A = this chain, B = another copy of it.
Amino acid sequence: MDVSDINISPAEWEVMRIVWTLGSAGSTEIIHILQQQKQWSESTIKTLLRRQVQKGLLTTTRQGRRFIYTATIAEKKMLELAAANFFNNLCDMQKGHLLIELAQQSPLSKTDIQQLIAVLQQKLPNAPDKVACNCLPQQCQYCAQEEH
């Protein structure tokens, strides 16, 4: 299973968050927690769990009658993949603006901020004055494109 091919649906993300946070957990535990946030029936959550096991996102260990679920992929790794995947499908010209928005809206620790600034300062010297648009195929006749 090529990790980067794995697809997590929105509902499945919710389940993954619980499992990642707890390390591992039984279905009952997961159901209890999720039901404090979502209007999902027990059945629904069980289905999600089953599908995630099928997809290879979760593994189970039998413990007597019940299963203990554990994530097969580290949270950080998965997030990086998902974020990169999202960003890769955007126009390059828009990414700067977007990062500014996200930085503004996200709760960041002092350390986060300092590291981010460090990264940015390192990029500054070689940064272009303007990022090129990569929405249209470069070889095409429509490339009068300047901005959008």
Does A63 lie at the interface of the complex (its beta carbon under 8 Å from any beta carbon of B)?
A: no
Q: Point out the residues of chain B lying under 8 angstroms from A82, CB to CB.
A: 86
Interface residues of A in 66-95 (CB under 8 A from B): 75-76, 79-80, 82-84, 86-87, 89-92, 94-95
Tell me the nearest residue of chain B to A133, going by C-beta: B21
Q: A87 contacts which of B33, B102, B123 (Cβ < 8 Å)?
A: B102
Q: A10 contacts which of B29, B89, B110 (Cβ < 8 Å)?
A: B89
Interface residues of A in 11-33 (CB under 8 A from B): 13-14, 17-18, 20-23, 29, 32-33
Interchain CB contact under 8 A, B17 and A91: yes
Interchain CB contact under 8 A, A124 and B113: yes
Interchain CB contact under 8 A, B84 and A105: yes
Count the copies. Answer: 2
With A33-B140, A119-B104, A148-B75 in contact, do A110 and B94 touch (Cβ < 8 Å)? Answer: no
Give the complex CA separation of A135 and B108 in angstroms. Answer: 16
Q: A89 contacts which of B13, B103, B133 (Cβ < 8 Å)?
A: B13
A residues sitting closer than 8 Å to B (CB atoms) are: 10, 13-14, 17-18, 20-23, 29, 32-33, 36-37, 75-76, 79-80, 82-84, 86-87, 89-92, 94-117, 119-121, 123-124, 127-133, 135-137, 139-140, 142, 145, 148
